[in-house]
Amino acid sequence: MEHHGAMVLVMFTLLCISINLNNCYADGQWCISNPNASDDVLQKGIDWACGVGGADCSAIQPNQPCYEPNTVADHASYAFNSYWQKNKKQGATCDFSGAAQQVSNDPSHGDCKFQSDP
């Protein structure tokens, strides 16, 4: 029976690789705001990510699916994740001067969907 568990793990891993499931391994899949960061630092991160960083921040604009809750922390989470998902394969990090952190739980809520592996 010990080998059965290993076989299932190997099969699962091969399945994930062969069909590229986004959520096979959840560890570190999303980049969100650090709850210890100040609104000032988070806003600077949003401004950079949505500007020079090239994140798609359209979903956090008024009347869009990720505008609510309308907090700096929630908007930063969306912007940070958008930037990181788009650029992590080129070496981008989820840090934003300590304002961001990686999480393994999908932060999506309602109609607001956070991108995972592109």
**Looking at residue 1, what is its pLDDT?**
45
Average pLDDT over residues 59-86: 98
Higher pLDDT, 12 or 55: 55
Residue pLDDT, tens place only, 26-54: 455 899 999 999 999 999 999 999 999 99
Mean pLDDT of the chain: 83
Q: Say whether pLDDT at 94 is over 50.
A: yes
Sorting pLDDT into bands at 50, 70 and 90, what band is 9? very low
The pTM score is 0.76
| 80 CB-contact burial (10 Å; exposed 0-12 / middle 13-18 / buried 19+) | buried
Q: Which two tokens stand for residue 59?
A: 């979903």
| CA distances in angstroms from 42 to 7, 81, 86, 108, listed in the order given | 45, 13, 19, 19
Closest CA to 31 of 21, 17, 46, 20: 46
For 97, residues 6+ apart whose C-beta sits below 8 A from its C-beta are 41, 44, 45
Closest CA to 57 of 78, 41, 88, 87: 78
Sorting pLDDT into bands at 50, 70 and 90, what band is 118? low
Percent of the chain with pLDDT over 70: 75
- Residue 56: enclosing H or E segment and its boundaries? none
